[in-house]
Structure 1
Amino acid sequence: MTATHPVLAAEEQALLPSDEDVRHYAEHGWYLSKKLFTDDEVDELLAATDRYYAGERDRRLPARPPKLAYWEPALGDVQRHNDYVHYEHDVIGRILRKPLIGAVAARLAQAAEIRVFQSTLIYKPPISGEPSNIVPWHFDKHYWAALSSERMLTAFIPFHDCGEEMGTITMVDGSHRWQEIGADDTVVRHFADRDRDQLEVMLAENAAHNHAEIRKIPMVIPKGHMSFHHCRIYHGSGPNVSGRPRRAISLHLQDGGNAWREHPLSDGTLAGYNHDVLVRRTPDGRPDYADPEFCPVIWRDRAQQGG
């Protein structure tokens, strides 16, 4: 799973965030991209995920992480989440490693290198009353307590035009800049394992503490475009009432400086991440979040490439 890091073509350079876009991301915590995938690339991604759901894999995880999201047909017509699709399926992985995505992320995060951290394939069925379709307010850094970086970000990549009626991802504008209160060990658990009302209360309390308005911004994303959001911005999504599935990939990205760090929990154990049972170890025995098998580099600044 090696990756090359070519210089972007002129037409791709034009698709990068402008200086104003970078300022907007720093202030608001989200960015709606230009068209980074062609229609053919999106259609190829959709077809590959159809085959993935039908059971096609190029490799399997060598171990099963303790908190793996991994929908299987026996789970029924609920919202599907499948982690590590970039690792298990070569076509999906190749498309997600498009250098342009990394270059956009590098501009927003002000980083010289961008690596994949995780990829989650998502299918939200068109069932307005399905409880699993509602994603309550949360931010990604809560689950990444064992990670050193505060610059990580996520690209939300729908396979079609995606608006409010489909239950698109929705941001709480500027909330990545809030000072957090009321956090305890429960925040390191995935939102699906936490009380939805508790998460609503946490959002309201943090907004009040920061004297901030809760301003919810639905991401209206045309096919081939994607949204990017900061690892500390509150976000969620509502029901899919469109009459067709909402299909997407959530591509979590890390800057080159990210590494495992010790984060003790109240019971004396250390916070971790699913990678910890999969990735290689650093010389001092820590999980290596730069392991190219699971966390490949998708963009590196030319100065970092040796010219």
Structure 2
Amino acid sequence: MSAPTEVFALTEEERELLPSDDDVAFYAEHGWYLSKKLFTDEETALLRSASEEFYAGRRDRTLPKHPARLAYWTPEKGDVQRHNDYIHYESDAIAKILRKPLLGAVAARLAQVDQIRVFQSTLIRKPPRPEEPSNVVPWHFDRDYWATSTSERMLTAFIPFHDCDTQMGTITMVDGSHRWQELSRDAVTARHFVQLGRDAESVLDRTAEANGAKVVKVPVEIPEGHMSFHHCRTYHGSGANRSAEPRRAISLHLQDGANAYREFPLADGSLAAYNHDELVRRTPDGTPDYSDPEFCPVVWDGPVPSAA
């Protein structure tokens, strides 16, 4: 691993916000964690305003190309659930907040690694339309879509811009599911989770049964400024937004410093692909470089921080 190019440090007040030893043990057992207040009210207000500017057309830069599987809402798609990948690349204001070292330190402590990089970030807006089919996110786990990654320590921070409860369709975890043995990854890897629909429930039930486990669903109610983290193999999903306001959030996918590209053959003989593969620079051996700082910036680098 290369030497850090910037200093990553925490104040004593920030160290108080790190997961305790018990929190780290909880994450290892259950596959998810609700953080303390990591963002200030001013930071969440900025996320809200910057997201509205983005929807209105503001870009600090644009992607050099749009890969085929890119999630990218545009106004002509209407009042559906919005997903916009690479928000950390296209919005400097949002990127600055997402790269807060405290967030990276929390992820590093949970994953027990010494470097955390952004893998992907998706701006999400779930409209207050409970009848809208796109509002429901079927059960899935993120590792299924990252078959080209070598790491098993990747994790995701779900960051709402406001208090987020079950009425708004908050994220729901399937407790302990990150420890289950998979039935098969290939069929799911070839599809995006929105294509799974009702199949997702049966996949979840069959996987739990094969592991001799029960499906325990835990809705995570998240106060403003807090966020949830979940392991890359934790099943999760979310329901409709039944409130009077849109649910605004970012799904921030994080990778450890050891993560790298690998070839992953599918059953039909083709290779699994991720959007990065068309965007990031190449390593000396010609493979996609998942440490490309343009798309995968470092948010923590140094020893695993300890709680105060």
- Same fold at TM > 0.5: yes
Equivalence for 2:285:
284
Equivalence for 1:42:
44
Determine helix, strand or coil for the equivalent of 1:171: strand
Equivalence for 1:164:
166
1:68 is displaced (CA, Å) by: 0.4
Q: Distance in 1 between matches of 2:5 and 2:63?
A: 20
| Residue 26 (str. 1) matches residue 28 (str. 2) | yes
Contact 1:126/1:246 (8 A) holds in 2: yes
1:18 is displaced (CA, Å) by: 0.4
Contact 2:173/2:236 (8 A) holds in 1: yes
Determine helix, strand or coil for the equivalent of 1:154: strand
Equivalence for 1:269:
270
Q: Deviation above 2 Å: which 4+ runs of structure 1?
A: 2-6, 182-188
Determine helix, strand or coil for the equivalent of 1:156: strand
Determine helix, strand or coil for the equivalent of 1:157: strand
Structure 1 residues 125-204: aligned runs within 5 Å? 125-194=127-196, 196-204=197-205
The residue type paired with residue 257 of structure 2 is G
Q: Distance in 2 between matches of 1:265 and 1:183?
A: 9
Match 2:12 to one of 4, 7, 10: 10
TM normalised by structure 1 equals 0.96
Equivalence for 1:245:
246
Equivalence for 2:74:
72
Q: Distance in 2 between matches of 1:130 and 1:120?
A: 20
CA deviations 1:110-147 (Å, max 9, x no partner) are: 01000000000000000011000000100000000010
Contact 2:24/2:110 (8 A) holds in 1: yes
Equivalence for 1:108:
110
Unaligned runs of at least 5 residues, structure 2: none
1:181 is displaced (CA, Å) by: 1.0
Determine helix, strand or coil for the equivalent of 1:126: coil
Provide the aligned length of Structure 1 versus Structure 2.
302
The residue type paired with residue 241 of structure 1 is R
Equivalence for 1:297:
298
The residue type paired with residue 263 of structure 1 is F
The residue type paired with residue 81 of structure 1 is H
Equivalence for 1:61:
63
Determine helix, strand or coil for the equivalent of 2:198: helix
Q: Distance in 1 between matches of 2:180 and 2:229?
A: 18
Unaligned runs of at least 5 residues, structure 1: none
TM normalised by structure 2 equals 0.96
Contact 2:147/2:189 (8 A) holds in 1: no
Q: Distance in 1 between matches of 2:208 and 2:188?
A: 19
Contact 2:139/2:201 (8 A) holds in 1: yes
Identity %: 66
Q: Distance in 2 between matches of 1:251 and 1:292?
A: 16
The residue type paired with residue 280 of structure 1 is R
